[in-house]
Structure 1
Amino acid sequence: MLPAALPAFRPFLLTLALAFSPVLLAQTSDASKEASTELQLSADGSEVQDLRARLVWPRCVHGMVWRNERCQGTPQRLNYSQAQKLAQSLHREDGLGWRLPRTNELRRLQQRTAAPTEQAAALFAQTPGDWHWTGTAAINSRAINRYSYEATTPARNSLPAPQAWAVDWASGQASGEMGRGNVLLVRLVRPLPATKLPPATP
C-alpha cells in the first residue's frame, strides 16, 4: 500500500519545496552579496581593500604596475633586508603605513584566491606562483659546539644564518626556514584608512 500512496504525497512535497525555495535563494543571495562586498577595488583599480581584514593590498607584486587593466612589468625579487627597507622607504614617503604582511595575512589572502567561489581569484590572477616574503621573523637558534672538530671545518665554521617566514603563492605553504639572503617576491600591505572602514554592526 505504501507505493500506491506515494503519488498522493507528490503535490504536498512540491508545495513544500516551493514554499522553502525563496528562503534558500535569499540565504544564497545574501552570502554571495556578503562575499562580493568584502573585497573592493580602489578608484583606479590598482589596489584591493579587504574590509574584513581591514587591509589594503596592491594588485601587483613589487616591480609590476597596474596599467590597462592588468599588471605589467617584471616582478622584482629582493632579499629580506631589501624588502624591509622598501617598506620603510614607502612608509616615509606617503605615511600610509606600508609593511611586509604577516604570515597569516598573506596565507589567508592566498587561500581566498585558491577558492573557486572567491572573487579574489580574479583580483589577484596575475600573481606569480612563487615564494613571497612576510614580516614574520624567525631566527635559527640551533646550538653549535664551538669546540667540536666538525664545527671548525670550513663547511660548518659559522653560525646559522638568520631566517624569516615566507609563503608560496602557488601552494599556500608557509616556511619559517627561509634564509634572509634569498631573493623572493614582495607584496606589501597597509592598513585600511579609518574613513574606509565599514560601520560597526550593533
Structure 2
Amino acid sequence: MKIWITLSFLLLPLSALAQTCLTSISATTPTTSFVINGDGTVTDNRLGLMWMRCSLGQTWLNNSCSGEPLELSWQQALVNAHGYVYANQTGWRVPNVKELASITEGQCVRPAINTSIFPNTPADDFWTSSPAVNDPQRAWVIAFFNSSNSIKDKSLFVYTRLVRTAN
C-alpha cells in the first residue's frame, strides 16, 4: 500500500503541485506594496522592512532565485544571519514571527507568497527568530505552503529568509 501511495504521488501532473491563487480574494501582499531594488532585495513600504528576495542558499540571478535553498537548524539560521552582508547591506537578521507572516499571500497556496516578489520560494516551513514561550527547545515557523504558523523543534532543518530594517 505504501508503495502505491508513493507511486501515485509521482504520477500527479506537475500542475497539481503549482501555486494556486483565488483571484476572488484580495491580495494581502500586492506587488504595489513593495519597491523592487534591483539588487535581489525588495522593500516593504507598509512595514519599512527590506527583504532578501531569495531564501538563504539561493542566488539572485537573471531576476530570479536560482539554486537550492539551505535547510538549517534554528541556531544555524541565527548564526548565518549574524554579520551577513548582502547587496552591500548589513543588519540582516532572521525575521520575527509577525514580520515573516506579513509576507505570506493569503489568496495563494503552494507557495503562499507573492511569487513576483519572492520567486522560487519553497512551499515549506521557514524559521522565525521567535522562540516558543513555554518550550525552550522550539521556535515559531511560518509555512509557505498555506500561510500557517506553528512551533518546531529547533534542531529540525528548515528554510530561512533574511530581513533588515530599511533605511
1:45-84 correspondence runs (5 A): 46-84=40-78
Q: What is the alpha-carbon distance in structure 1 between the residues aligned to residue 96 and residue 107 of structure 2?
A: 17
Name 1:41's counterpart in structure 2.
36
Partner of residue 109 from structure 1, selected from 71, 88, 103 = 103
Report the AA paired with residue 190 of structure 1.
R
Greater strand content: 2
Q: What is the alpha-carbon distance in structure 1 between the residues aligned to residue 108 and residue 126 of structure 2?
A: 16
Report the AA paired with residue 39 of structure 1.
F
Asked if structure 1 preserves the Cα contact closer than 8 Å seen for 2:54 and 2:119, the reply is no
Give CA-to-partner distance per residue, 1:130-187, whole Å, 9 cap, x none: 000001111545xxxxxxxxxxxxxxxxxxx6110001111111112x1000000000
% identical aligned pairs: 30
Q: Tell me, which stretches of 5 or more residues in structure 2 are unaligned? A: 1-29
1:43 Cα offset (Å): 2.9
Q: What is the alpha-carbon distance in structure 1 between the residues aligned to residue 124 and residue 73 of structure 2?
A: 14
Partner of residue 165 from structure 1, selected from 98, 119, 140 = 140
Query: Structure 1 stretches (4+) deviating beyond 2 angstroms?
Result: 35-38, 111-115
**Given the two structures, how large is their TM-score scaled by the length of structure 2?**
0.71
1:95-174 correspondence runs (5 A): 96-111=90-105, 114=108, 120-141=114-135, 162-174=137-149
Q: What is the alpha-carbon distance in structure 2 between the residues aligned to residue 107 and residue 36 of structure 1?
A: 16
**Given the two structures, how large is their TM-score scaled by the length of structure 1?**
0.60
1:105 Cα offset (Å): 1.4
Name 2:22's counterpart in structure 1.
none
Asked if structure 2 preserves the Cα contact closer than 8 Å seen for 1:132 and 1:167, the reply is yes
Q: Give the structure with higher Rg (CA).
A: 1
Count of residues paired in the alignment: 133
SS in 2 for 1:165: strand
Report the AA paired with residue 189 of structure 1.
V
Give CA-to-partner distance per residue, 1:105-124, whole Å, 9 cap, x none: 11120136739xxx934111
Question: Given the superposition, is the C-alpha separation of residues 61 and 36 from structure 1 closer, same or farther in structure 2, using an over 3 Å criterion?
Answer: closer
